[in-house]
Amino acid sequence: GTAALGNGRVGVWAYAASDTRIGGQTQGARNVISGNGDYAGASNYDSGVMAQASPRLVIEGNYIGTDVNGTGALGNVGSGIQITDSPDSSIGGSAAGARNVISGNGKWGAYVAGSLGTRILGNLIGGKVDGSGALGNASHGVYVAANTIANEPTNVTGGGTASGEANTIAWNGGNGVLVLKGLNNPIRGNSIHTNASMGIAHS
């Protein structure tokens, strides 16, 4: 878990796979998903985790873009997580052990498009596992989009005020959070700092 041995395209790909779980809340359930996508023809198929049309997807407890210790970058060429059209999904969670470390990737930390009701909770996005320093993703920490419909309600939740719900989103190369096209996306309770552009941006 200390050297890049990536697959040529996506590390984990879920397609039309309802109720899929990637990782878990114990150390033994953790995946290290890093170094993937180093293939000239991969185009957008270069992320650590990619999901399409997979409702109720759960991604929790993983190190995505880091080494096995969560302190060094072994980034995926694209985003850490990229999910589209996968409603009611969860990235992280409030429970102990549900946090993903999503750091060191070549594009966004987590990209969510057209996935109504998805929750992004309790993650560390752009830092080392202990929060002690920078391990930023190259672009935005969290990117929320609604595909092509500008006023489509997306209801994506980033963080929250209950125990364990807040994300730490820091040291990324773009905005901490970018919400592009979409409505009803509460971003609250998070620690968002030291990103290269804005903390939270909406367009």
pLDDT of residue 46: 93
DSSP-assigned letter for residue 5: -
Tell me how far apart the terminal alpha carbons of the chain are, to the nearest angstrom. 38
Q: Check if the beta carbon of residue 100 is closer than 8 Å to that of residue 141.
A: no
Q: Is residue 42 pLDDT above 70, yes or no?
A: no
pLDDT of residue 146: 75
Tell me the two tokens of residue 102.
């999503």
Return the number of other C-beta atoms located less than 10 Å from residue 189's C-beta: 14
CA distance 197 to 176: 7
% of the chain exceeding 90 in pLDDT: 84
The residues that bridge with 102 in the sheet, in sequence order, are: 64, 125
CA 57 from centroid of its chain's CA atoms? 13
Rounded average pLDDT over 153-168: 92
SS3 state of residue 27: helix
The band of 153, judged by pLDDT with boundaries at 50, 70 and 90, is low
* CA dist 187 → 25, 93, 159 (Å): 24, 15, 6
CA distance 41 to 30: 29
Model confidence over 67-110: pLDDT tens digits?
999 999 999 999 999 999 999 999 999 998 999 999 999 999 99
The band of 41, judged by pLDDT with boundaries at 50, 70 and 90, is low
Q: What is the rounded (10 degree) CA torsion for 155, 118, 45, 6?
A: 140
